[in-house]
Amino acid sequence: MSVDTLPVPATAPPRPTPEPTPRWRNRESLTAWLFLLPSLIGFLVFTAGPVVAAGVISLLDWNLFSPPTWAGLSNFARLGPDPTFWSALGNTAYFTFLSVPLTILVSLLLALLLNQGLRRVAVFRSLLLLPYATITVAVAFVWIWLYIPHDGLVNAVLGAIGINGPAWLISDTWAMPALVAMSVWKSFGFGMVVFLAGLQAIPQQLYEAARVDGSSAWQSFRNVTVPMLSPALFFVVVTSVIGSFQVFDQALIMTNGGPGTRTTTLVMYIYRTGFENYDQGYAAAQSLVLFAFIVLITATQFVFQKRLVHYDN
Q: Which residues bind another protein (CB under 8 A)?
A: 34, 63-66, 144, 147-150, 167, 169-170, 172, 253-261, 264, 272, 275-278
Q: Which helix (H) or strand (E) holds 144?
A: helix 136-146
Amino acid of residue 89: L
CB of 97 to another protein, least distance (A): 23
CA angle 83, 95, 262 (to 5 degrees): 40
Strand runs labelled E in 97-211: none
Smallest Cα–Cα separation from 290: which of 258, 254, 244, 237? Answer: 244
Name the residue nearer to another protein (CB basis): 122 or 156.
Answer: 156
Shortest Cβ 239–another protein spacing (Å)? 28
Residue placing its CB nearer to another protein in the complex, 121 or 253? 253
Q: Locate all alpha helices (DSSP H) within 163-265, ordered by sequence.
A: 175-200, 204-212, 217-220, 226-245, 249-254
Q: Which is nearer to another protein, 155 or 220 (CB)?
A: 155
Which lies closer to another protein via its Cβ, residue 131 or residue 258? 258
Torsion of CA 57, 58, 63, 66, to 10 degrees: -50
Q: How far is the CB of 83 from another protein (least distance, A)?
A: 9
Tell me the DSSP string of 11-76. SPPPPPPPPPPPGGGSHHHHHHHHHHHHHHHHHIIIIIHHHHHHHHHTTEE--SSSPPEE-TTHHH
- Between 43 and 275, CB nearer to another protein: 275
- In whole angstroms, the minimum distance from the beta carbon of 149 to another protein comes to 6
Backbone angles phi, psi at 173, to 5 degrees: -80, -40
What is the DSSP secondary structure assignment for residue 225, as one 8-state letter?
I
First-to-last alpha carbon distance for the chain, in angstroms, is: 82
Cβ proximity to another protein: between 126 and 173 the closer is 173
- Nearest distance, CB of residue 306 and another protein, angstroms: 42
CB of 183 to another protein, least distance (A): 16
Report yes or no: 244 and 190 within 8 Å, Cβ to Cβ: no
Report the nearest approach of another protein to the CB of residue 186 (Å).
18
Nearer to another protein, 64 or 296 (CB): 64
Q: Which is nearer to another protein, 210 or 285 (CB)?
A: 285
Separation of alpha carbons 211 and 253, rounded Å: 51
Judged by phi (left if over 0) then psi (alpha if -120 to 50, else beta), residue 113 lies in: alpha
Q: How far is the CB of 92 from another protein (least distance, A)?
A: 16
